[in-house]
Amino acid sequence: TEQTFIMVKPDGVQRGLVGEIVGRFEKRGYQLVNAKMVHASQEHLEQHYADLKGKPFFPGLIKYMASGPVFATVWQGKDVVKQGRALLGATNPLASAPGTIRGDFAIDVGRNICHGSDSVESAKKEISLWFGQDGSIPYKRAVDAWIYE
Ligand code: GTP
Ligand code: MG
């Protein structure tokens, strides 16, 4: 089944929002299949955000992301890449709907507290960048019978 990479950024960790963000994915029914806290290096973050190299905000983004530990997670379930982005809300919190994570907890685009993979392809790349070979820890959930028809 589909997997995505969701990360609580340093501002989310500092503000005590790890539980809130993880809880929303859990309550939706998605399955947590990996998680860890990492204080990432600039080099690692430049790889993660390679697509944005050259943007005017890139240096500030790397500095922000390297400013403290992040909480990196892998989630699994039906349509989880697209649904995960929907749970996070629009990139710019000023445009994020209330009820989304960013719409409820953030204001500035440069402090938008969370990251989510934007496609199945990037999810695969990001999971291997952050977690290496053993990207996820598979396990059966009895509750799946109550979440999926
Ligand atoms: P992520 O889930 O974090 O990847 O966000 P996204 O996919 O919705 O947006 P994108 O990949 O285009 O940008 C990555 C991150 O760069 C955003 O989440 C913001 O933290 C930051 N960012 C994007 N655009 C801007 C901008 O115009 N100004 C600033 N300061 N930061 C930006
Ligand atoms: Mg992105």
Q: Which two three-digit tokens encode residue 93?
A: 């919190």
* Residue 97 pLDDT class (50, 70, 90 cuts): very high
Ligand 1, atom 29, lies closest to the CA of: 110
Q: Which two three-digit tokens encode residue 113?
A: 């507290």
* Residue 134 clears pLDDT 90, i.e. is over it: no
State whether ipTM is beyond 0.85. yes
Ligand 1, atom 24, lies closest to the CA of: 109
* Residue 14 pLDDT class (50, 70, 90 cuts): very high
Spell out which residues line ligand 1, taking CB within 6 angstroms: 52, 57, 60-61, 91, 109-110, 112, 115-116, 118
pLDDT tens digits, 17-60: 999 999 999 999 999 999 999 999 999 999 999 999 999 999 99
Torsion over CA: 67, 97, 85, 25 (sign): positive
Average pLDDT for the chain: 98
* Residue 141 pLDDT class (50, 70, 90 cuts): very high
Q: Ligand 2: distance of its center to the CA of 122 in Å?
A: 9
48 part of the active site: no
* Per-residue pLDDT, 43: 98
Beta strands in the chain (DSSP E): 3-8, 31-38, 70-76, 114-116
